[in-house]
Amino acid sequence: MQFLSNEQFSNAVNSRTPLGRLGEPKEMAVLVSFLCLPAASYITGQTICADGGMIVNGFVFQG
């Protein structure tokens, strides 16, 4: 992700995320794995935000 090499942008993203960091690929993989299990068979038509809470604050980059 080349845009994350911009330190100003990266700091803005992290400051707006309640967890204070970007998600790791393994954290996204766990969600995908769960959704593939029979335990998730009743989940349909949902938007699942695996974003560290960023959606709570919204995100607008002004730089």
Two structure tokens written together for 61: 């980059």
pLDDT of residue 59: 61
Q: Tell me, what DSSP letter sits at residue 62? A: -
Model-wide pTM > 0.75: no
Domain ranges of the chain: 1-40+50-62
Nearest to 10 by CA among 53, 57, 20: 20
Q: State pLDDT tens for residues 4-43.
A: 788 888 888 888 888 999 889 999 999 999 999 999 999 9
3-state secondary structure 6-60: CHHHHHHHHHHCCCCCCCCHHHHHHHHHHHCCHHHCCCCCCCCCCCCCHHHHCCC
Task: Determine the residue type at 4.
Answer: L
